Structure 1
Amino acid sequence: MLSELSIKNFAIIETLSISLEKGLTVLTGETGAGKSIIIDAIHLLVGGRGSSDFVRYGEDRAEIEGLFLLQKMSHPIFKKALELGIEIEDDMIVLRRDIYKSGKSVCRINGKLVTISVLREIGSTLVDIHGQHEHQELMDETKHLSLLDQFGKDKVTAALEEYGQVYRNYEKTLRKLNSLNENEQQMAHRLDLIQFQLSEIQAANLKLNEDEKLLEERKRLSNFERIHEAVQLSYNGLRGEQKGLDWLGLVMNNLEDAAVLNPDYKELAESVSNSYYVLEDAARTLRSELDNLEFDPQRLNEIEDRITEINQLKRKYGPSIAAILEYGAKIDEEIETLQNKETHIEQLQKELVSLKKDLMVEGKELTSVRSHFAKELTRAIHHELKELYMQKTVFEVRMAKLENQFSANGMDQVEFYLTANPGEPLKPLSKIASGGELSRIMLALKSIFSKHQEVTSIIFDEVDTGVSGRVAQAIAEKIHKVSIDSQVLCISHLPQVAAMADTHLYIAKATKDGRTKTTVKALTEEEKIREIGRMISGAEITDLTKEHAKELLQLAHNTKVY
């Protein structure tokens, strides 16, 4: 759920901080007070298209930040965040978006800078905004298949996974076959190219980690003089008259004499004696190193040439010797395939026929499972529409076979059809006219899919326009029903909807120092009565209006309880 929303310098909002609760939150207020501006801010927060026009006049940037609390580990955002490298701690995620007056937009998720596309991808799992003219997934026929699959839950997922395993093998085999069936001239050119490449790699006779060893050897040869000087000085410091070992030998002999006279010096004498013999061994090693140190300019030239050769191969075939050798093995296999093309084509064609049969079996099983849930969904939608006084409306989930037969999602094409008037033909849901009828249809669909989409928050922006009376009451009850499974924010002008609110926020605007500001206030019970009364009768609120408002609130309470 969206727990905290902070808005600064956005349109007519100077600064606003709203704490939101579970259940149904209704936003009401006079026209132009800024209700829709708050929804616009949330829309931008989850990846909507931004504009410098949103920045409050006279300010450099608008800032929007939202804290979302995640209540289910099964929520799809955890998987998406993992894929995108975004850490989620304590089941909380913070989205932030800054829009500058230059038009630049900066997005962050849990403090990490992200692109607008990533923000939109994450945001789509958190918030679903539905306005009278903005119907999102439910009005997009390309999304109907996934909505049906969500409704089918585990059974569809299992069937789709079985199908998907075969489909991936089918696609892989098909790509190989298509590659072998390319133009003969192209194939000949390809064969010539990779034969040359393999010959070049093999001629180099590369060894793993060879480049690292060469670089180390080059470093030693390039610094020969400095190394030789350092070793020589080290040896000279230890060996020779009045040098290190002479003085240390003197100390050792004197301490040994002292230890004979006083046992307290025995441990110290042994320590110095050990150091003497260790340094004596070091001196012998240094002498041996000096005898063996030789500078070979020819070897340095050979190393430089070999490193250059390896680097040229890296530029062509891979960033490392391991990658070059791997590429060589790959094209060696491809050469064998191209040279024996006909045999491989015949083998792949047999594999493809077998896979196609398996794919058809799995595809039909997936279609069968979807057909079952399509009927279940149809029944569920009709039940919801009946509760919204649309019992004569006919809804249908239409399934058809894909023209290309197979896709990653199966063999099916799904689209929702509907007619609200008896005698009229069913039409695609995407072509239904807007208005009060459409609001009820969308609410019926939302009531079903809110349980399956796992969206954290659903926002209804004046979806109740054009309805009244018993239909308004039905819509209020339906919106509250949706809020049982998902947090719902709703801008409404219907008193019936306002009465159903678990939290009622009043949006107002005022002028101060010549500037318009928007404020938000959570209403007390008495303030709710006055606001619902205003929604019923307009500006003048009478005692009768208040009684009507109280009656609505009591009715809403009884409906929610029972």
Structure 2
Amino acid sequence: MLSRITIRNLVIVRSLDLAFSDGMTTLTGETGAGKSILIDALGLALGDKADNGLIRAGADKAEISATFEPAAGSAALRWLDEHDLAADGECLLRRVLVRDGRSRAYINGTPTPLASLRELGELLLDIHGQHAHQSLLHAAAQRALLDAYGGLRKQVKDVAQQYQTWRAAKEQYDALRKAGEDRANRLDYLSFQIAELEAIACEGDALKSLEEEQARLAHAEQLLKDSDQVIAMLGDEEQSVQQIVGRAAHILDDLSRLDPSLGETRELLESAGIQIDEALSSLRHYQDRVELDPERLQAVDDQLGRLHDAARKHRVEPEQLVGLLDQLRTEAETLNNADSNLRALETQIEELQKTYFDNADKLSKARKKTAKQLSKVVTESMQTLGMKGGKFEVTCTADRDRPSASGFDQLRFEVTANPGQPLAPLSAVASGGELSRISLCIQVATANCGPVPTLIFDEVDVGIGGAVAEIVGQLLRRLGGERQVLCVTHLPQVAAQAHQQLRVHKMTDGKTTETRIDSLDASARVDEIARMLGGVDITDQTRRHALEMIELAHKAS
């Protein structure tokens, strides 16, 4: 819901900070006081196009901040999470208009394109009347509302999943069939490449083993010479390490008889002698493996050369040749099995298509039944709102040649406000007042279904009065029990139904003009509704009448 709006230097508003409650709120005031400014400000906060002429005279910039409190699990919170803009469940929209520059937009303090602001705004608030953010005029929103009203959301979700699965199988089939058209040539090419790579033995750790062997063969002379020197130092010379350690161990053996504490040192030297013996043995075995073999060295060099040549040819690193060979073999196997895979996919596609169409048909029948119910409820509601003989109809036409994730139904909300006139799309309704009242009928009928938590009705009472106005107020109050409702009105019958009332008034010192909006307490509400009833001179009788209207509204609810 909308919890607060702050406005600075917008048109004739110098400074305004308003808190909102849930339920139904009315905005009242004398004609020309500027009741539309609040709606204009919300429109800007939600991404409407800005005009620098909206900046208050004498100011360099205007600023509007609107704070919303999205419900847990709401579409708005999901949107914020998906766009990395979430901020502890709060949603702050801010718009800055600059006189000598472009306007700027922010979501939770992050600079944001206007398109994103509008996208999020449609999940937070709907303005009904001759304004933007009217989701009921969009086909997708109409379909979603009908599906919600009929309790069809699970069916819709299942149909969407079935459609995606069917389409994915078709895309896989098309790709496989296209590849199969040139399959013979591709298989010849793959066979040649696979044979070439297999011939140079690029599997397993072949490259690593060859590089190690090449290093050993290339340095065989140095390896033998230097290992001979190490063997001599360790064991073959007169003063070799082996002999020196042996003599030292023998001396300590004698000394340990005199002082047993030297026994541990003697054991360490004996262990060192054993390790030296093992090192000598290992080096001699190593020398047996090292050969001066120029022919083998040349063969290894040649094989490594072929591996590097193949890597350059295929534009990969030499160590990636093993993965490339596996990839080529997999593709060849897929092409060899293409016919059986195609036949299996054809069968799968037929089954998936049948499942989709069967369930889309069921969804279409359920939608048509729901469309009749909604059409009847809204039409009946229109008769009470000054549109006698008016008719609302949800047309639901199945076009099985145009399947989609939402089924194959073409939905449209159609209406005629007067008897004898043909039905026309809701978007073609010319009168803002009629459009608002029709929207009100739809919103009341589907109060528990719509995803947008805050609704604003502007000009909802244009051209009506008396009993019809009272019914409009009752409907808005009833809708306020399910959603947050803001209504701009000049009718006391509507204002009296509100849970909260705001009053707009102008102030001037002869040089400047300023608009203020005040939240009214119980006493001030009586005075304001009395003004709406009786004009300039407010009598005790009009106050009693105003109080009676407010009390009756509370009792009725």
Q: Normalising by structure 2, what TM-score?
A: 0.70
The verdict on how the C-alpha distance between 1:120 and 1:112 changes in structure 2, with shifts beyond 3 A counting, is same
Does the aligned pair in 2 maintain the 1:529–1:549 contact within 8 Å? yes
Does the aligned pair in 1 maintain the 2:70–2:77 contact within 8 Å? no
Q: Which amino acid aligns with 1:471?
A: V
Could you list the per-position Cα deviations for residues 343-388 of structure 1 after superposition, in whole angstroms to 9, with x for gaps in the alignment?
5544433332222112111212222332333233234324433443
In the alignment, the residues of structure 1 paired with residue 31 and residue 185 of structure 2 have an alpha-carbon distance, to the nearest angstrom, of 71
In the alignment, the residues of structure 1 paired with residue 164 and residue 86 of structure 2 have an alpha-carbon distance, to the nearest angstrom, of 30
Residue 500 (1) aligns with residue 497 (2): yes
In the alignment, the residues of structure 1 paired with residue 137 and residue 326 of structure 2 have an alpha-carbon distance, to the nearest angstrom, of 51
Does the aligned pair in 1 maintain the 2:190–2:332 contact within 8 Å? yes
Could you list the per-position Cα deviations for residues 384-411 of structure 1 after superposition, in whole angstroms to 9, with x for gaps in the alignment?
3344365643332221112533101112
Structure-2 residue corresponding to 1:559: 556
Please give the secondary structure, in 2, of the residue aligned with 1:416: strand
Residue 415 (1) aligns with residue 422 (2): no
The verdict on how the C-alpha distance between 1:100 and 1:449 changes in structure 2, with shifts beyond 3 A counting, is farther
Structure-2 residue corresponding to 1:120: 118
Does the aligned pair in 2 maintain the 1:51–1:103 contact within 8 Å? no
* 1:79 shift after superposition: 2.1
Please give the secondary structure, in 1, of the residue aligned with 2:481: helix
In the alignment, the residues of structure 2 paired with residue 196 and residue 12 of structure 1 have an alpha-carbon distance, to the nearest angstrom, of 81
* 1:77 shift after superposition: 2.1
In the alignment, the residues of structure 2 paired with residue 32 and residue 191 of structure 1 have an alpha-carbon distance, to the nearest angstrom, of 81
Q: Map residues 230-309 of structure 1 onto 2, 5 A cutoff.
A: none
1:178 to 174, 187, 190: 174
Residue 160 (1) aligns with residue 156 (2): yes
* 1:189 shift after superposition: 11
Does the aligned pair in 2 maintain the 1:447–1:482 contact within 8 Å? yes
Q: How many residues align?
A: 470
In the alignment, the residues of structure 2 paired with residue 331 and residue 118 of structure 1 have an alpha-carbon distance, to the nearest angstrom, of 45
The verdict on how the C-alpha distance between 1:469 and 1:188 changes in structure 2, with shifts beyond 3 A counting, is farther
Structure-1 residue corresponding to 2:99: 101
Q: Which amino acid aligns with 1:481?
A: R
Q: Map residues 483-494 of structure 1 onto 2, 5 A cutoff.
A: 483-494=480-491
Q: Map residues 376-415 of structure 1 onto 2, 5 A cutoff.
A: 376-388=373-385, 390=387, 392-402=389-399, 404-415=401-412
The verdict on how the C-alpha distance between 1:47 and 1:191 changes in structure 2, with shifts beyond 3 A counting, is farther
2:520 to 523, 530, 540: 523
Please give the secondary structure, in 1, of the residue aligned with 2:33: coil
Structure-1 residue corresponding to 2:56: 56
Computing the radius of gyration from Cα coordinates, the structure with the larger value is 2
In the alignment, the residues of structure 2 paired with residue 473 and residue 31 of structure 1 have an alpha-carbon distance, to the nearest angstrom, of 20
Q: Which amino acid aligns with 2:463?
A: G
In the alignment, the residues of structure 2 paired with residue 367 and residue 99 of structure 1 have an alpha-carbon distance, to the nearest angstrom, of 47
The more displaced of 193-202 and 164-173 is 193-202
Could you list the per-position Cα deviations for residues 163-210 of structure 1 after superposition, in whole angstroms to 9, with x for gaps in the alignment?
2222112111222333456599999999999999999999997999x9
Please give the secondary structure, in 2, of the residue aligned with 1:81: helix
Please give the secondary structure, in 1, of the residue aligned with 2:449: helix
Structure-1 residue corresponding to 2:76: 77
The verdict on how the C-alpha distance between 1:112 and 1:135 changes in structure 2, with shifts beyond 3 A counting, is closer
Q: Which amino acid aligns with 1:460?
A: F
Could you list the per-position Cα deviations for residues 415-439 of structure 1 after superposition, in whole angstroms to 9, with x for gaps in the alignment?
1233344454433333334254433
Please give the secondary structure, in 1, of the residue aligned with 2:15: strand
The verdict on how the C-alpha distance between 1:420 and 1:52 changes in structure 2, with shifts beyond 3 A counting, is closer
Could you list the per-position Cα deviations for residues 438-462 of structure 1 after superposition, in whole angstroms to 9, with x for gaps in the alignment?
3322210121233212322111122
1:461 to 458, 463, 478: 458
Does the aligned pair in 2 maintain the 1:5–1:65 contact within 8 Å? yes
Does the aligned pair in 1 maintain the 2:130–2:432 contact within 8 Å? yes
Q: Which amino acid aligns with 1:456?
A: P
Please give the secondary structure, in 2, of the residue aligned with 1:94: strand
Residue 450 (1) aligns with residue 452 (2): no
The verdict on how the C-alpha distance between 1:510 and 1:79 changes in structure 2, with shifts beyond 3 A counting, is same
In the alignment, the residues of structure 1 paired with residue 40 and residue 92 of structure 2 have an alpha-carbon distance, to the nearest angstrom, of 18
In the alignment, the residues of structure 2 paired with residue 129 and residue 193 of structure 1 have an alpha-carbon distance, to the nearest angstrom, of 64
In the alignment, the residues of structure 2 paired with residue 132 and residue 122 of structure 1 have an alpha-carbon distance, to the nearest angstrom, of 20
The verdict on how the C-alpha distance between 1:477 and 1:189 changes in structure 2, with shifts beyond 3 A counting, is farther
Q: Normalising by structure 1, what TM-score?
A: 0.70
The verdict on how the C-alpha distance between 1:135 and 1:396 changes in structure 2, with shifts beyond 3 A counting, is farther
In the alignment, the residues of structure 1 paired with residue 204 and residue 43 of structure 2 have an alpha-carbon distance, to the nearest angstrom, of 57
Residue identity over aligned pairs, in percent, reads 35
In the alignment, the residues of structure 2 paired with residue 132 and residue 412 of structure 1 have an alpha-carbon distance, to the nearest angstrom, of 28
In the alignment, the residues of structure 1 paired with residue 192 and residue 26 of structure 2 have an alpha-carbon distance, to the nearest angstrom, of 72
* 1:475 shift after superposition: 0.9
The verdict on how the C-alpha distance between 1:446 and 1:31 changes in structure 2, with shifts beyond 3 A counting, is same
1:372 to 369, 373, 389: 369
Please give the secondary structure, in 1, of the residue aligned with 2:447: helix
Residue 14 (1) aligns with residue 14 (2): yes
Does the aligned pair in 2 maintain the 1:27–1:492 contact within 8 Å? yes
The verdict on how the C-alpha distance between 1:345 and 1:520 changes in structure 2, with shifts beyond 3 A counting, is same
Does the aligned pair in 2 maintain the 1:447–1:481 contact within 8 Å? yes
The verdict on how the C-alpha distance between 1:465 and 1:422 changes in structure 2, with shifts beyond 3 A counting, is closer
Does the aligned pair in 1 maintain the 2:122–2:133 contact within 8 Å? no
Does the aligned pair in 2 maintain the 1:159–1:369 contact within 8 Å? no
Structure-2 residue corresponding to 1:28: 28
Does the aligned pair in 2 maintain the 1:207–1:321 contact within 8 Å? no
Please give the secondary structure, in 2, of the residue aligned with 1:450: coil
The verdict on how the C-alpha distance between 1:528 and 1:398 changes in structure 2, with shifts beyond 3 A counting, is same
Could you list the per-position Cα deviations for residues 293-345 of structure 1 after superposition, in whole angstroms to 9, with x for gaps in the alignment?
xxxxxxxxx9xxx9xx89x9689xxxx989x96x9977875665567666554
Structure-1 residue corresponding to 2:145: 147
In the alignment, the residues of structure 1 paired with residue 316 and residue 56 of structure 2 have an alpha-carbon distance, to the nearest angstrom, of 54
What are the ranges of 5 or more consecutive residues in structure 1 without an aligned counterpart?
A: 211-301
Could you list the per-position Cα deviations for residues 496-548 of structure 1 after superposition, in whole angstroms to 9, with x for gaps in the alignment?
11112222211122235833322121223333233223323433434554444
Does the aligned pair in 2 maintain the 1:397–1:416 contact within 8 Å? yes
The verdict on how the C-alpha distance between 1:132 and 1:196 changes in structure 2, with shifts beyond 3 A counting, is farther
Residue 129 (1) aligns with residue 127 (2): yes
The verdict on how the C-alpha distance between 1:152 and 1:385 changes in structure 2, with shifts beyond 3 A counting, is same
What are the ranges of 5 or more consecutive residues in structure 2 without an aligned counterpart?
A: 208-303
2:428 to 422, 426, 431: 431
Structure-2 residue corresponding to 1:227: none
Does the aligned pair in 2 maintain the 1:435–1:466 contact within 8 Å? no
In the alignment, the residues of structure 2 paired with residue 463 and residue 103 of structure 1 have an alpha-carbon distance, to the nearest angstrom, of 36
Please give the secondary structure, in 2, of the residue aligned with 1:164: helix
The more displaced of 341-350 and 136-145 is 341-350
The verdict on how the C-alpha distance between 1:420 and 1:11 changes in structure 2, with shifts beyond 3 A counting, is closer
Q: CA RMSD in A?
A: 4.6
In the alignment, the residues of structure 2 paired with residue 188 and residue 25 of structure 1 have an alpha-carbon distance, to the nearest angstrom, of 74
The verdict on how the C-alpha distance between 1:199 and 1:376 changes in structure 2, with shifts beyond 3 A counting, is farther
